[in-house]
């Protein structure tokens, strides 16, 4: 009897222990471990992200530059997938079996229980045929999202592009982004990501065992509404943006135009460019790789990142600094015999041209190198030849106030600072005390180590147009309905030159167009002030440079044009700038006395030839042929010693005659 009671307590203890274990396991499953709850919910509840429409971008006149169109991602929850006809599935999506296996393996690695993107960006037409058979593929469901579309296929480098978010960006977003989301990668899309992306929403649907929706979960009580991104109004004028891209097609270079009274960028051309529609849709990856490998680098944002010697376009700035410092006056003259003597160096003017007696305005108009060498020498030797370094540092600080040698803080990523050399740089190059003004005299005419971006060149023209100040250049003039403009873009940045000194410089710039090197680009009825530049390069033809603003009084546009390896500034850059200016001011282009017309420049192909590497023959083959024939051996040796020196002959002739340009 006692044994019976003892066994009873043992059996009861065993049952109680089992019950406690089961209860503990149940608690663990339902409370501690969320996998089972997640799996259960995924069986009956489908959370569908409601991606907001990304904010549209308009030009200054309200023309749509970028908007959205719907596409569909196919999502998968690997644990819910049941056997199905993969061949038919692949056929519907336009993928192969190998691609299917890779995508499914990636989804399983991410999570067997959570949804992830299986196939991206199905068009509405492709999705329609897939949707009819969706119920056959348990575990797969559609996710609608908007993607970008570009009606005019223009301004690619300005707008930038969006792409799938990286792991690093997901970590930094504090939970906002998830794998498969899209984010701005370059351009305005990146700079204004927070304003453009909006706020995502969620809809919870009940689904049956065949993955067919049965209605909203809890009547939508737990749903949230997507909020569309803000609309951006850019400062670009698509009339001249599209014209600029046509004028620069089949050329390497840039056009930047600025409204002097606001700092708003009117035109932002980087050439060669590309159709931004290539970087959306299912062919995005292939198109990206092709553009990335393009030897002409269409992804390179030349207005902000390309470095160019300003050439003679720098001379008006140099004159303004000298006037402010008092080393010259507007009446200061210089006799140009066709060369300039600096120290023990004799430097010829451009092509040895003799300008005779020139004052400041005439020196600008005729682009006399000797006059500006003289000005630079005066500035550098103002405190004696032994104090060149401190004099140069002082000169550099004054030039820097015009925005050279530093970023202008445009509202766009990846801006470069250009290059404005320092005294320390020359100390290192020539050793301390081992250089004088004659050593670095080329800087006086915008050559040597001096480099600027097209944006900086245009900004200098805006400063001269304003007679001594500039507004920070910017690309967005309004955000949302409130038309918010950042305070930093409303501040005048003075460059430290009194307004009285600008008149003689501007007189000279007007003369450049009225009867000087850019006279062939004169616009009937519009006073344009400009400066041609023929900037020397290390390889190939010189760069064609032209900077200008118009009209002279109350200027509405300042512009910089650079055409790489195109020769004189008057031949290519000046005509292109004149067409752009007239189009902006009049919305038309009139016939010029010089006979130039836009179509000629649009059709011209100035792309530099590509260097094609010919694979060398194996040495054994060459030796075998040489041993067999002594004549061939001699020919082989001759060919290796004197390579073919023939270059591509460019038969195209510019409409403008060659004008002697003292640059």
Mean pLDDT for each 10-residue chunk of the chain (663 residues)?
64 81 75 57 70 90 91 87 88 88 89 84 84 85 86 93 88 81 91 89 74 67 83 95 96 96 96 92 88 93 94 92 93 88 79 82 90 92 86 94 93 92 93 89 91 96 96 92 80 94 95 92 95 78 92 96 91 96 95 91 90 53 39 34 37 46 41
Q: Is 93 part of any domain?
A: yes
> Hey, what's the torsion of the CAs at 535, 540, 541, 543, to 10 degrees?
-40
- Residue 57, H or E segment: strand 57-58
Q: Is 490 part of any domain?
A: yes
The beta-strand segments (E) located in 487-624 are: 492-494, 529-535, 543-550, 557-563
Question: In this predicted structure, what is the pLDDT of residue 278?
Answer: 92
Q: Sign of torsion, CA 588 591 594 596?
A: positive
Do residues 420 and 520 both lie within one domain?
yes
Last residue of a domain, one of 211, 233, 255: 233
Question: In this predicted structure, what is the pLDDT of residue 167?
Answer: 85
Residue located via tokens 């159709």: 275
Q: Residue 85 sits in a domain of what CATH number?
A: 3.90.1310.10
Select from 524, 522, 459 the least CA-distant residue to 495: 459
Question: In this predicted structure, what is the pLDDT of residue 354?
Answer: 79
Do residues 181 and 268 both lie within one domain?
no
Last residue of a domain, one of 584, 603, 622: 603
Question: In this predicted structure, what is the pLDDT of residue 385?
Answer: 80
Question: In this predicted structure, what is the pLDDT of residue 51?
Answer: 81
∠ CA(261), CA(310), CA(547), 5° rounding? 40
3-state DSSP assignment of residue 531: strand
pLDDT tens-place string over residues 154-176: 999 999 999 888 888 888 888 78
Do residues 247 and 378 both lie within one domain?
yes
3-state DSSP assignment of residue 118: strand
Question: In this predicted structure, what is the pLDDT of residue 42?
Answer: 58
Residue located via tokens 């709850």: 37
What DSSP state is assigned to residue 523?
A: P
- Residue 195, H or E segment: helix 193-197
Rounded Cα distance between 612 and 625, Å, is 25
Do residues 243 and 376 both lie within one domain?
yes
**For the whole model, what pTM was predicted?**
0.81
Q: Sign of torsion, CA 160 161 165 170?
A: positive
Provide the residue range defining the domain that includes 210: 46-233
Rounded Cα distance between 287 and 283, Å, is 6
Do residues 159 and 280 both lie within one domain?
no
Select from 585, 582, 581, 580 the least CA-distant residue to 602: 580
Do residues 429 and 293 both lie within one domain?
yes
Q: Is 612 part of any domain?
A: no
Do residues 221 and 288 both lie within one domain?
no
3-state DSSP assignment of residue 476: strand
Beta bridge partners, 144, equal: 72
Q: Residue 305 sits in a domain of what CATH number?
A: 3.40.710.10
SS3 of the chain: helix, strand, coil, percent, to 5: 40, 20, 40
What DSSP state is assigned to residue 561?
A: E
Do residues 161 and 73 both lie within one domain?
yes
Q: Is 177 part of any domain?
A: yes
Last residue of a domain, one of 233, 250, 274: 233
Q: Is 397 part of any domain?
A: yes
Rounded Cα distance between 365 and 510, Å, is 8
Residue located via tokens 């999506």: 93
């Amino acid at each position: 009897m006692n044994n019976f009671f003892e066994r009873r307590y043992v059996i009861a203890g065993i049952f109680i222990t089992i019950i406690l274990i089961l209860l503990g396991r149940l608690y663990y499953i339902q409370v501690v471990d969320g996998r089972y709850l997640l799996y259960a919910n995924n069986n009956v509840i489908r959370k569908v992200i409601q991606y907001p429409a990304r904010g549209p971008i308009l030009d200054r006149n309200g023309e749509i530059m970028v908007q959205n169109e719907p596409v569909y991602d196919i999502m998968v929850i690997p644990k819910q997938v049941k056997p199905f006809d993969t061949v038919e599935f692949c056929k519907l999506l336009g993928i192969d079996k190998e691609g299917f296996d890779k995508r499914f393996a990636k989804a399983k690695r991410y999570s067997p229980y959570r949804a992830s993107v299986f196939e991206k960006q199905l068009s509405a037409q492709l999705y329609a045929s897939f949707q009819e058979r969706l119920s056959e593929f348990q575990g797969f469901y559609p996710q609608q999202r908007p993607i970008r579309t570009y009606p005019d296929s223009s301004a690619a480098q300005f707008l930038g592009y969006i792409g799938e978010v990286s792991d690093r960006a997901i970590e930094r977003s504090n939970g906002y982004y998830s794998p498969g989301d899209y984010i701005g990668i370059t351009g305005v899309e990146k700079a204004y990501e927070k304003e453009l992306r909006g706020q995502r929403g969620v809809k919870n649907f009940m689904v049956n065992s065949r993955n067919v929706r049965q209605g909203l979960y809890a009547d939508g009580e737990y749903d949230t509404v997507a909020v569309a991104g803000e609309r951006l109004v850019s400062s670009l004028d698509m009339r001249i943006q599209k014209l600029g891209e046509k004028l620069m097609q089949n050329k390497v270079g840039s056009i930047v135009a600025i409204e002097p009274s606001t700092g708003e960028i009117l035109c932002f051309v980087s050439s060669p460019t590309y159709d931004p529609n290539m970087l959306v849709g299912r062919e995005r990856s292939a198109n990206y790789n092709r553009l990335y490998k393009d030897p002409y680098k269409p992804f390179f944002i030349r207005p902000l990142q390309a470095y160019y010697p300003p050439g003679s376009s720098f001379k008006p700035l140099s004159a303004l600094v000298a006037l402010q410092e008092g080393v010259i006056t507007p009446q200061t003259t210089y006799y140009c015999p066709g060369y300039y003597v600096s120290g023990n160096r004799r430097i010829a003017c451009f092509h040895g041209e003799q300008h005779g007696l020139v004052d400041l305005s005439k020196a600008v108009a005729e682009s006399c190198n000797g006059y500006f060498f003289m000005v630079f020498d005066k500035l550098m030797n103002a405190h004696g030849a032994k104090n060149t370094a401190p004099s140069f540092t002082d000169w550099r600080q004054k030039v820097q106030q015009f925005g050279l040698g530093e970023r202008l803080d445009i509202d766009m990523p990846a801006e470069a600072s250009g290059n404005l050399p320092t005294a320390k740089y020359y100390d290192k190059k020539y050793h301390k005390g081992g250089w004088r003004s004659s050593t670095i005299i080329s800087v006086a005419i915008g050559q040597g180590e001096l480099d600027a971006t097209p944006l900086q060149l245009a900004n200098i023209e805006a400063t001269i147009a304003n007679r001594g100040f500039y507004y920070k250049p910017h690309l967005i003039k309004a955000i949302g309905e409130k038309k918010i403009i950042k305070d930093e873009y409303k501040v005048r940045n003075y460059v430290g030159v009194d307004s009285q000194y600008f008149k003689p410089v501007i007189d000279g710039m007007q003369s450049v167009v009225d009867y000087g090197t850019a006279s062939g680009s004169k616009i009937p009825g519009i006073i344009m002030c400009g400066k041609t530049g023929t900037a020397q390069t290390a390889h190939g033809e010189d760069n064609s440079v032209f900077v200008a603003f118009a009209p002279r009084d109350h200027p509405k546009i300042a512009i910089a044009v650079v055409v790489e390896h195109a020769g004189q500034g008057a031949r290519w850059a000046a005509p292109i700038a004149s067409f752009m200016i007239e189009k902006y001011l009049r919305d038309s282009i009139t016939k010029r006395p010089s006979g130039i017309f836009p179509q000629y420049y649009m059709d011209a192909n100035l792309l530099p030839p590509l260097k094609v590497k010919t694979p060398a023959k194996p040495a054994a083959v060459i030796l075998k042929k040489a041993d067999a024939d002594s004549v061939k051996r001699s020919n082989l040796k001759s060919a290796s010693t004197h390579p073919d020196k023939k270059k591509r002959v460019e038969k195209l002739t510019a409409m403008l005659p060659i004008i002697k340009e003292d640059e």
